[in-house]
Copies of this chain bind each other. A is one copy, B any other.
Amino acid sequence: MPAVKRAPKGAKKADTQTDKRKSVPLREKPARKASAPAIEFDALNEHLGYFVRRMQVSIFQDFIRRLARIDVSPAQFSVLVVISANPGLSQSELASALGIERARLVRMLHRLELRNLTVRLPSSADGRRHALELTREGEKLLAKAKVLADEHESCLREQLGAERHQTLLAILKTF
């Protein structure tokens, strides 16, 4: 507990403006329920990473909320989409395509397989690989997920403006 031990009052933090109790006419303290005095973000304003992070969190929150009914996370959605569009893909290929670790993917597939959404078939050519596919149940769930994800994206496009949405998508894809 490195925090100050909750000393009762003995503060020494003086205000910047020297003590003038009654001289200031308008609200010496922000008059009860004033909107917080606007926090300064300083250097953060120049850093893309900060805003990209904020937007990513915000977008994911909406996505998760909308797909909570069918219990599909953003990561799971991307896995289902890519498997469906590339049946027979190996786990290494899928992981590298989505930019996630092989080890991570193993556990994701574990859960998806428990839900009977995906299967790992033996690859005929290479004994090491697994040919990934969606089950019929997986395809059905993915169809539902795509509907909800599209609603999510439409809301995002509306909230952002169609042209800004398009610009963002274009720039991010070049990265």
A residues with a Cβ closer than 8 A to B are 2-4, 6-13, 29, 36, 39-60, 63, 74, 78, 81-82, 84-86, 88-89, 93, 97, 99, 109-110, 113-114, 119-125, 127, 130-131, 133, 146, 149-150, 152-153, 156, 160, 164-165, 167-169, 171-175
Query: Is B29 touching A50 in the complex (CB atoms < 8 A)?
Result: no
- Residue of A84, A85, A153, A175 ringed by the most chain B CB atoms within 10 A: A175
Contact: A85 with B40, CB < 8 Å? yes
Q: B120, A4: Cβ atoms under 8 Å?
A: yes
Contact of B56 with A53 in the complex, beta carbons under 8 Å: yes
Given A55-B172, A74-B53, A110-B2, verify A41-B7 contact (CB < 8 Å).
no
Tally of this chain's copies: 2
Q: What is the bound-complex CA distance between A114 and B2, given in angstroms?
A: 7
CA–CA, A59 and B50, complex, Å = 9
